[in-house]
Chains A and B, each alone.
Chain A
């Protein structure tokens, strides 16, 4: 860079400034990553923290109760000052969950200790005060304190009842529905097989008899279910809003009832952790705007593991052939270039290919051959977790091939010769010496592939990912693993809650929380793979890779 040898001091200075430049670039990168994580973590983590409820009396006489969601400056062109966004809830009464209020319009603010926040199964939060608790016409309690005390035990009972209903629906009733469906399919199969009349009649009769039995069972369970549901809504909580309106809410429809202004730090921390757990372990509610995202976590992890199971054998075998067996020449070079370029193909193209090849061609064929009774409803001929995993396996196979090839190339020739000189065949040498030595390199490829796959959304949208799929691809119904099922994915969930939600203001924090979780899930999966790789490296300490 320096044209002619200048003084030693000048050269030292140049070296030092270049080192500083490199260090600075690295520091900037780290800073950006930390800022990204910090921002997402801050916004995502804040979502679960319960803020105090604010009661505000406005100049126009309205009284509002809610949580301050955000604060912003009013541009000077619009008069200046500040305004805040208040989450007032009570969507069933007012229609809007959020209100923007000029600070100038606020006459008086207070934090009433008896203000109650209800998290409901439907219609979102309710903010107000408790005024009455009754069963039918009978009044069980009256007055804020009285109702608050009576509500607690009753609500715990109803929560248990709700859990029983859920188990009944997902358990016994789900089982029977499954059986009735399989009987329907059996009847349809019988029709398609068209056996001799006598046998047909005999089998049809058997199917009818079982169907009748199942339907009777179903009726009984359904009656039980309806009774439970009636019991769930038997008691009504009468709430008064800050504005004076009143609203009856069934006790069974309340998820949580809180008095945030009364809670201490520790209680709030407990609530925070509880909500975090609910978010991670629960099913989504209310078009994904509330509840948890467990199905999305499960779908993401299962899809990535399926993908890894598919991509590792394929990629490793292909790389083995390319590196160890194929005669190195023009053709192999072209193949290698093609593989590398495959990694650069836009992912949506893989999605389209997956739809055409896996879903329509292979899935359609499977349906015609093995599930003709279910047609025209497709079983495998529609998007599903297996097809999504295979599509992503295609997308990531170049990564695995390249990493495996590098791993194989780094095994010294002399080690291979050592094995051959002992009378091992080429295949034995490759399989017993070269591949184990290259294992850390192969795992590096798998790690990269998993990270890439977990973050892909576009191709999945057309091969089996959906907005809502509370039934997991693994359950207790035979055959336990349902590869044909659609699934939820954290990446798509972010998009869905952020931009497709009916209540965008309420779900904005969910975007951050879900993104944070996606990062955590990907990191966790990578850590597992990395720890396996490190174990292998330690085992072969000093190995070439």
Chain B
């Protein structure tokens, strides 16, 4: 699988997709049956100033699965992702309506501790963004800001996180070197290690491979497969092949609306909406 690009959207080999039960026919396209979702997005709308970027989106994200958001540029998939850990708060003039429930609690609730929320919902960005510190300090950063400074504990977590991010063997001898001396793919894996070092429940990945070459991309995809055992992953990608290769569920967004959401295999093989089919067969986007 690494490095190969399927010629057409196909079901990922060797994977048994969960078989959702379908409820009412009208909802089928949007509402796969997901028991006990870790994240529940409920009628979420978002405006940048007067421009509406998200329209009434509802979807449920299952625990310890990979959920992909796909769609053409500007469809709002990154915006949706950044709502989940409230990173959009940093942008002036953003207004939200609706709810995102994380383990049943609304993240937009003013009582939500935003730093605690972000500790539990980690994020990996489109462009790798290691801090100008050593490799070790990058991974230890999240722990240090929580007040953990005991060396033995830090050493252990740093090693564990780097191993989980499949980076340990490459950097174990140069932990004190600058993180910026790593290659692009290594930097991105370091960012993943940094995100999982604080043991979040959810990791959001915002087009994590868009700046990487195919080999590095394949490594990250493999890594996501492993990480799924411990974390819930939500990935934004404009690469449909990637979505079809790695994800369990896929949501297709278009112009700020959720068009279709379902089990990846089903969505790619037998899309229920015409727009979805047009997009995945490459007729637009």
Contact = CB atoms under 8 A, between A and B. Distances in A.
Report the contact-size class of chain A (Cβ under 8 Å from the partner).
20 to 34
Nearest to B126: A414
B178 to A, nearest CB: 5
Contacts of B131: 415, 418-419, 433, 436-437
A115 B238 CA distance: 94
Given A415-B129, A432-B141, A423 B115 contact: yes
B198 interface: yes
B187 to A, nearest CB: 10
B122 interface: yes
Contact of A418 (B125, B145, B146): B125
B180 interface: yes
Contacts of A541: 178, 180-181
A421 B132 contact: no
Contacts of A418: 123, 125, 129-131, 191, 194
**Most chain A beta-carbon contacts within 10 A, residue among B90, B132, B178:** B132
A543 interface: yes
Contact of A414 (B122, B125, B142, B198): B125
A428 interface: yes
Interface string B114-137: 011111001101110111110000
B90 A414 contact: no
Given A424-B115, A540-B132, A419 B141 contact: yes
Contacts of A412: 129
A111 B86 CA distance: 91
Given A420-B90, A423-B142, A541-B178, A414 B132 contact: no
Given A415-B129, A542-B181, A432 B191 contact: no
A543 to B, nearest CB: 4
Given A540-B180, A541-B178, A541-B181, A423 B145 contact: yes
Nearest to A425: B115
A157 B133 CA distance: 61
B141 A423 contact: no
B235 to A, nearest CB: 15
Interface in A394-428: 412, 414-415, 417-425, 428
B186 interface: no
Contacts of A433: 131-133, 141
A425 B132 CA distance: 18
B268 to A, nearest CB: 30
Contact of A539 (B119, B178, B195): B178
A418 B122 CA distance: 9
Contacts of B247: none
B264 interface: no
Contacts of B146: 423
A252 B132 CA distance: 63
Interface of A: 412, 414-415, 417-425, 428, 432-433, 436-437, 539-544
30 contacts: A414-B125, A414-B126, A414-B127, A415-B131, A417-B123, A417-B125, A421-B122, A422-B122, A422-B141, A422-B145, A422-B195, A423-B142, A423-B145, A424-B141, A425-B115, A432-B141, A433-B133, A433-B141, A436-B131, A436-B132, A437-B131, A539-B132, A540-B133, A541-B178, A541-B180, A542-B178, A542-B181, A543-B132, A543-B180, A544-B132
Q: Which 9 A-B pairs have the closest CB atoms?
A: A423-B119, A540-B132, A421-B123, A542-B180, A422-B142, A418-B129, A423-B118, A437-B132, A414-B129
